[in-house]
Structure formats: structure tokens, C-alpha cells
Amino acid sequence: MNRYSLDFSPLLGYWDVFLHGTLLTLQMTALAVVVGVAVGVLVAFGKRGRNRALAWACTVYIEIVRNTPFLVQIFLFYFGLASFGVRMPTFTAAVLAMIINIAAYAAEIIRAGLEAVPRGQIEAAECLGLSRWRIGWHVMLQPSIEKVYPALTGQFLLMMQASAMASQISAQELTAIANTVQSDTFRSLETYLVVAALYIVLSLFIKGLSALLGRAVFRRSRVVNQAQRPGRRAASVATAGGAA
């Protein structure tokens, strides 16, 4: 058995390529997450809505996406559409496939949140004469998103990792770039170790960002959390009053 020794030095010259790939992956994920969640919200409301046909269509969509591999979805979307004459750049195809994928997962998560909204609260809002749209936004959607926020961000992380599969249709992102670098340098193991580290950094970054975002957006839960922390109670109630 020959002893192989790791040598990362040939990769040093590629740092800008790696950086570029990391940014592409981040960009891809951000696009897919933002659009995907918006679509997911619509699908979640569609599934709960009174229109039977629409609700059924939403259920079928969610179940099909959640019970088939993302890789097959990408192939079907990219190669399948191409065979019908619909051609698009690989980056677009990858992002669209990611949107279709994450919208289904987000819909299911948000629907669980909507289901947890007490019936009485919706009735109370109706009694107060709030319009349907305002009930949907203030009474149903906002508290549910707050409740399912951790599950949602967990899904974003999984999506970021799933974006690696976009390399299989040669869309340019971190993994595809790693494939190129390793065939240039013949340092496959080192390349993938570096990329693994970059993915870990990316996921820590997304985790941190979503925690910060959550704290900024969901002021109510922050105030409640602080108030519940023993010892700080008086101080935090005072600040909460000030903030309100």
C-alpha cells in the first residue's frame, strides 16, 4: 500500500476560483430561498383553501416533490424540457429546479404553522372587522412563520447543500468548480476537503445570518424570551416598554 501525503499547495493559486464558486452557491441559494418561500406561502394557503381542485393540486405537487430525489427533479427539468425544445442556461435551470423543490418543503412547513393558529384568534379578528387579507397576513401568516422559523431555516441549509447537485447539469457553483479544479491539479482529495470546509463555513454563515434575521424580525418573541429569563426580568420589561 502506497502512502499518500496530502498537499494543498497546488490549490493556493485557485483561491479566487473557490471564492467565486462560494459566492455563486450563496447567490443561487439566496435566489431560490426568497422566491421559493414566496411560492411556498401561496401553495400553503392554496392547500388550506376552500377551492377543492386547487387544494388537491397543491397536495399532489407537495407530495411529488417531497417523495422524489432532487437529482431526478433537476434531470427531468433540464433534460426533459430540453427534449421538448425548451432550452435555458444551466444556472437558470438549476435555480428554477431549486425553487420548485424548496417551495414544496416550505409550503408543508408553513402549512403546519398555519394549522397551529388557534381558530379563536381568526374568529376574533373577523369580529374586529379585519379584511380577509389582513387576517391572512397579520393573524395567520406572521405568527406561523415565527413559529416554524427554525424548521424553515433548517430547510434553507439543506437546500444550500442540495445546490451541489446542480453541478450534475454543469451549472457553475462550488461543486462544479471543484470538479474543474481537481481535473486541473490532479489533487482530488485536497480539492474536495477544501470545498467541504467552504460548505461548512457557508452553512455556519447562513445559520448565523438567519438567527440574526430572526431576532431582528420577530421582536415579539425576543421580548417574551427576555422577559422569561430570570433575574433580568425587571430590566427587560422596562426596555420592552421603551421599544414599544
Partner 1 sequence: MTPLETGLFGNFTAVHLAYLFKSIGWTLVLSLLAFALGAVGGFGVMLARISPRRWLRGLAMVYIEGIQGIPLLILLFIVYYGLSLYGYSLPALVAAGLAMMLYVSAYLGDIWRGCIDAMPKPQWEAAECLALTRWQTLRLVIVPQALRLSLPPTVGFLVQIIKMTSLASVIGFVELTRAGQVINNTIFQPFLIFSLVGAFYFVLCYPLSRWSEAMERKLNVAHR
* Interface contacts to partner 1, rule CB under 8 A: 1-4, 63-64, 66-73, 75-76, 79-85, 157, 161-165, 167-168, 175, 178, 182, 188-189, 192-193, 195-196, 199-200, 202-204
Report residue 218 as a C-alpha cell. 420577530
DSSP classification of residue 135? I
The smaller minimum CB distance to partner 1, of residues 135 and 148, is found at 148
DSSP classification of residue 172? -
Which among 160, 149, 83 is positioned nearest to 112, based on CA atoms? 149
The smaller minimum CB distance to partner 1, of residues 45 and 190, is found at 190
Report the nearest approach of partner 1 to the CB of residue 9 (Å): 16
Report the nearest approach of partner 1 to the CB of residue 204 (Å): 7
The smaller minimum CB distance to partner 1, of residues 140 and 169, is found at 169
The smaller minimum CB distance to partner 1, of residues 59 and 226, is found at 59
Report the alpha-carbon distance of residue 69 to residue 145 in Å, rounded.
Answer: 26
Report the nearest approach of partner 1 to the CB of residue 164 (Å): 4
Report the nearest approach of partner 1 to the CB of residue 90 (Å): 15
Sign of CA dihedral 92, 93, 99, 100: positive
The smaller minimum CB distance to partner 1, of residues 93 and 141, is found at 93
Rg of the chain in Å (alpha carbons)? 22
The smaller minimum CB distance to partner 1, of residues 204 and 224, is found at 204
Sign of CA dihedral 174, 178, 181, 185: positive
Report the nearest approach of partner 1 to the CB of residue 140 (Å): 21
Question: Burial, 144: exposed, middle or buried (Cβ in 10 Å; 0-12, 13-18, 19+)?
Answer: buried
Give me the half-sphere count of Cα atoms (radius 13 Å) on the Cβ side of residue 230: 0
Chain centroid to CA 45: 19
Report residue 60 as a C-alpha cell. 399532489
Report the nearest approach of partner 1 to the CB of residue 101 (Å): 11
Report yes or no: 103 and 40 within 8 Å, Cβ to Cβ.
yes
